[in-house]
Amino acid sequence: MIVEVKRKMEDGNYSISRHCEEERRSNLTPMISVIAFFLLLISQSSFAQKKSKNMNDKQIVIYQLLPRLFGNKNTTNIPYGTIEQNGSGKFNDITDKALDGIKELHVNYVWYTGAIAHASLTDYSAYGIKVDDADVVKGRAGSPYAIRDYYDVNPDLAVDVKNRMKEFEALVKRTHSKNLKVIIDFVPNHVARSYHSYAKPKNIIDFGAKDDVTKGFSAQNDFYYIPGQKFLVPQHEPKQTPISALQDGKFDENPAKATGNNAFVAQPKYDDWFETIKLNYGVDYQNGEKQYFEPIPPVWTKMRDILIYWTKKGVDGFRCDMAEMVPIAFWNWVIPQVKKENPDLIFLGEAYNPQVYKQYLEEGKFDYLYDKVGLYDGLKKLIRNEPSADVKDIRHVWQVESAGFGKHMLRFLENHDEERIASVGFAEKAELALPAMVVSATLGSGPVMLYFGQEVGESGKGAEGFGGDDNRTTIFDYWGVPNHQKWMNGGLFDGHKLNAAQQSLRAYYKQLLKVTSTSDAVVNGEIYDVPQAGNMNNRMYAFIRYSGKQRLLVVANFDRTQTLEANFEIPDSILKVKNSSPVTDLLTDKKLNIPVGTSIPVKLAPVSAQVIEF
């Protein structure tokens, strides 16, 4: 979602309803404790069955890309440039060759971000689409999370705008032909202020069409209103940009509707999600968050219909934006209904509150959740060599925070919201993150994700437009992505323009994901925390993943200067699980000259990792 506000939310500046009850552990009788234990076993068993069905015993590897950026060969890169100046990638640019290149990374799901039609400043009025107002659009291209029409695709991404849906459907078919699955965004919390569906099926009623706008809240309304007040464009420090001439400081909305980040005012702030309208799931936020879920609010059924619509288009999964801002009761109701259309669908929730992870998985019925506030945050400190960095953060994640459901946490080091690893503000060098990537890919059996360009060290450099020079690749503007374009090589997708370091980086990702995506120890195994040994410090970590078919010793050295030297003792209980294998470093495919025994000596250079099969 919109990055500059999300960071404030994570810091606690915004209050988001979580709709969860605290567990009353202190009042449990011994008998109830036993029952709770067995219920936990049952829920974990159902999780495992669901995961196996979805993954076919392989780790899910997701590759996130914005089609607008991914296929763009234009290198002009004018800040706030138009689509004519800076160009835009198309659905058709994601060719068989492109998909083969993605698949080389052992990816099995592709997340097409920004596929659904969203507000932008590009004029498609010739195709019957009303031009959006520059006062309520962020950037020239607009945010992919300000949906303009849930039943349409982004016209920017079509070669032939009239046939844009057919081009999307062809992309889905092309992706499936490579044995890859398709994920798109589902944005349930809010829509663009200009929302109007031109492409909806005939039996569909548009959002707000039957609302009683005289009521600030009604469970039968799709939106929240500020009766008697017109919407006022947010005030901010004047800054002249190439789109200033398109802005007059006005937007016709009367009465004003509440803004997407729960701002119930006629004039939101500039750092609010002012370009979006909050959707009403039957929660009266201004009166103690009282819930009105019976009868089912109209938004629920509208959203169910939207999910089923895209499922019938062949979509295999939904990344659900800001899932915690929508009542958990809705997820509990809608996910089973949509899965009747396709039981193998996956629902991936963007979530930031570890206290409710388990509830969103069990009660909310999500398949996977972001592991951002936890593993990502801890690994980022280690990558950056911050004073507070400590591998205890890694241990806390799997032993405490997601204990019992770690296989349902999505691990990543980059996505569209986060800083690029190779950016000046993060680590500058992409190679500094390789130990963290090894941990992300091996710590659990849940999905691991790459963001396009990560594997070739994209730095996100430059002030592209609305996003500014913020160490990220813009999601708001038309832009070319330089290092990714080197791999794209004019549409050949062969990487021939990459330098040696970039080719080496991509080869590392390729080998790592080859190991983890097919590893029985990673997908099905247990985890054992290896005690500190040798000269290990708080920037060095080791653990074992093991199953009846495979044993792996994973060692990560985040220290910038010190070589890790240790002799790791292997417990008899793990040695007895299976017969010994030749001791091999799987990241290099090199047999190690180590006799099979009860210990494994390791000498690991600074900022490096090993995955040792034994």
Region 492-518: what's the mean pLDDT?
98
Residue 596's pLDDT band, with cuts at 50, 70 and 90, is: low
Tokens of 349: 């929730």
More confidently predicted of 45 and 274: 274
> Cα(546)–Cα(551) distance, rounded to whole angstroms?
4
Query: What pLDDT, on a 0 to 100 scale, did the predictor assign at position 220?
Result: 98
Asked if residue 42 has pLDDT above 60, the reply is no
Residue in this structure with the two tokens 């009166």, named with its chain if needed: 287
Task: Give residue 610's identity as a one-letter amino acid code.
Answer: Q
> Cα(70)–Cα(92) distance, rounded to whole angstroms?
11
> Cα(59)–Cα(448) distance, rounded to whole angstroms?
8
- Which residues are CB-neighbours of 425 under 8 A, at least 6 positions away? 419, 470, 471
Give CA separation, 561 vs 1, 508, 605, in Å.
37, 21, 8
Query: What pLDDT, on a 0 to 100 scale, did the predictor assign at position 34?
Result: 36
Query: What pLDDT, on a 0 to 100 scale, did the predictor assign at position 24?
Result: 29
Asked if residue 222 has pLDDT above 60, the reply is yes
Instruction: Verify cis geometry, omega within 30 degrees of 0, for the bond prior to 295.
Output: yes
Query: What pLDDT, on a 0 to 100 scale, did the predictor assign at position 140?
Result: 97
Instruction: Kindly report the three-state secondary structure assignment for every residue of 446-507.
Output: CCEEEECCHHHCCCCCCCCCCCCCCCCCCCCCCCCCHHHHHHHHHHCCCCCCCCHHHHHHHH
pLDDT digit string, tens, across residues 436-459: 999 999 999 999 999 999 999 999
- Which residues are CB-neighbours of 472 under 8 A, at least 6 positions away? 3, 416, 417, 418, 419, 420, 423, 460
> Cα(481)–Cα(479) distance, rounded to whole angstroms?
7
Region 358-385: what's the mean pLDDT?
98
Region 535-552: what's the mean pLDDT?
98
Asked if residue 357 has pLDDT above 90, the reply is yes
pLDDT digit string, tens, across residues 546-572: 999 999 999 999 999 999 999 999 999
Structural domains of the chain in order of their starting residue, each with its CATH number: 61-191+298-518 (3.20.20.80), 525-613 (2.60.40.1180)
pLDDT digit string, tens, across residues 16-31: 332 332 332 333 333 3
Query: What pLDDT, on a 0 to 100 scale, did the predictor assign at position 20?
Result: 32
Task: Give residue 278's identity as a one-letter amino acid code.
Answer: K
Percentage of residues in the chain having pLDDT higher than 70:
91
Region 489-498: what's the mean pLDDT?
97
Asked if residue 339 has pLDDT above 80, the reply is yes
Asked if residue 164 has pLDDT above 70, the reply is yes
Query: What pLDDT, on a 0 to 100 scale, did the predictor assign at position 579?
Result: 87
More confidently predicted of 56 and 410: 410
Q: Is the Cβ–Cβ distance between 283 and 290 less than 8 Å?
A: yes
Asked if residue 190 has pLDDT above 90, the reply is yes
Residue 56's pLDDT band, with cuts at 50, 70 and 90, is: low
DSSP string, 183-203: EEEE--SEEETT---SS--TT
Asked if residue 141 has pLDDT above 60, the reply is yes
pLDDT digit string, tens, across residues 472-493: 999 999 999 999 999 999 999 9
Query: What pLDDT, on a 0 to 100 scale, did the predictor assign at position 580?
Result: 86
What is the crossing angle of helices 434-442 and 500-517, to 10°? 20
Identify which of 222, 49, 597, 303 has the alpha carbon closest to the alpha carbon of residue 614: 597
Residue 417's pLDDT band, with cuts at 50, 70 and 90, is: very high
- Beta strands (DSSP E) in 281-344 are 283-284, 290-291, 317-320
Identify which of 100, 76, 101 has the alpha carbon closest to the alpha carbon of residue 88: 76
Say if pTM beats, i.e. exceeds, 0.85.
yes
Q: Rounded to the nearest 5 degrees, what angle is found at the Cα of 137, between the Cα atoms of 135 and 141? A: 135
Asked if residue 117 has pLDDT above 50, the reply is yes
Asked if residue 13 has pLDDT above 80, the reply is no
Asked if residue 267 has pLDDT above 70, the reply is yes
Identify which of 280, 263, 275, 262 has the alpha carbon closest to the alpha carbon of residue 223: 280
Of the candidate ranges 321-325, 364-368, 464-468, 552-556, the one whose mean pLDDT is the lowest:
464-468
Query: What pLDDT, on a 0 to 100 scale, did the predictor assign at position 237?
Result: 81
Task: Give residue 470's identity as a one-letter amino acid code.
Answer: D
